[in-house]
Amino acid sequence: MEKDFGTGMYFQQGERTEIKKSPLAKDLFKVEGVKGVFLGREFITITKKPDEVWNVLKPQIFSAILDWYSSGQPAVLAQAEDHISDTAILDTDNEVVATIKELMETRIRPAVQDDGGDIFLEGFDAETGIVKVRLAGSCVGCPSSTATLRGGVENMLKHYVPEVTGIQDVTDHGENLDEPLVLRHKQGEE
């Protein structure tokens, strides 16, 4: 995915409007059993429905990716990116929110993406000090995501932003407790 589209885009089965933004995601959702597709800058993370088996899905997924690649279509359509990034600092943001956004973009998000996932800022409640986040990609349903949120993300935010008292995960983890499929782009390859 090109840098112009931010750090990543997450698509879930059933979000028809959102899926239209990505020819690659659209092709991957044609594979029966694919539940979610996360497109990062150098990786794709795919989650499956709980009753599906990776041994059956992987060949179909690889075939869909190769067909998309040979078509020459972009991963995301240029006109699709019409929203502001969750970590873009706006004129209306106070100093606390701006600091949270900067930490999310420069320190937290890169660490989470190294594992094939992403984390999105959903909001900050100034009265309670709670930061709301949503996980995507390989983080959804991951058994260690709670430890990562509490031990890593929450502690870092509390350290740098005294107004933060805690973190709340608003992700719908559903029933997906299986490991996702993460496909990485190797450096220097086209």
- CA–CA gap between residue 130 and residue 136 (Å, rounded): 20
- CA–CA gap between residue 181 and residue 30 (Å, rounded): 16
Architecture of 95-169 per CATH? Answer: 2-Layer Sandwich (3.30)
Q: Name the pTM for this structure.
A: 0.60
Q: Which residues of the chain does CATH 3.30.300.130 include?
A: 95-169
Rg (CA), the chain: 17
18 against 27, higher pLDDT = 27
CATH of domain 3-81+180-184: 3.30.1370.70
> For the segment 72-104, what is each residue's pLDDT rounded down to a tens digit?
888 888 764 455 567 777 788 899 999 999 999
